Amino acid sequence: MLQTLCKTLLKLMGWKIDGALPTTPQYIAIVAPHTSNWDFIIGVLARGALGHNIHFLGKHQLFIPPWGWLFKAIGGTPVDRRKNNNLVDAVAQLFKADANFKLALAPEGTRSPVTRWKTGFYHIALAADVPIVTVALDFAHKTVVIPPAIKVSGDIAQEMRTILDFYRTIKGRHPKTIPDYSAQK
């Protein structure tokens, strides 16, 4: 019933889905470009329409009353970015603890323009041995674009260039420049 509702809402809003999520029990879906609060709404509706139980990480401020219960109920886990934690290892452990764990992340980490993307999703995928699914919210065509999953090899420079090149073909609600890959300093 939820899946039908989500499909109907997307259709009423004029959105369609091009592609499919993998049938593998685990993956990391990266969703970009992240330019608007509408990204979350479209993403949650697409997740529901596709019938996948995908978790997400969110800034801890989202999980306080009055809405905190809702974000937890729809698969959210709070992250306090003020603390210095080893988030990559912690999330890799979530994959090891749950054979059906799926996670969605926004690699930009913000709606504002950035000069480099966070690469934690890549390191999590490598540590947990799960594929990366690039999911794009193309507002120009009102399409959620899902190409085939990427099995990471450890060649982060090459694979990040491929990922970033894909997202350069997508227009967010408020278009912004997708940066080139640069290794962490």
pLDDT computed for residue 10 by the predictor: 96
Cα dihedral 86→90→92→93 (10° resolution)? 150
* pLDDT at residue 83 in the model: 62
pLDDT at residue number 135? 97
Task: Look at residue 134 in the predicted model and tell me its pLDDT.
Answer: 97
Task: Note the pTM of the prediction, 2 decimals.
Answer: 0.86
Domain boundaries, the chain: 86-100+111-133+162-179
What are the 10-residue block averages of pLDDT along the chain, 185 residues in total? 94 96 96 89 93 86 86 80 73 91 86 79 94 96 96 94 94 85 70
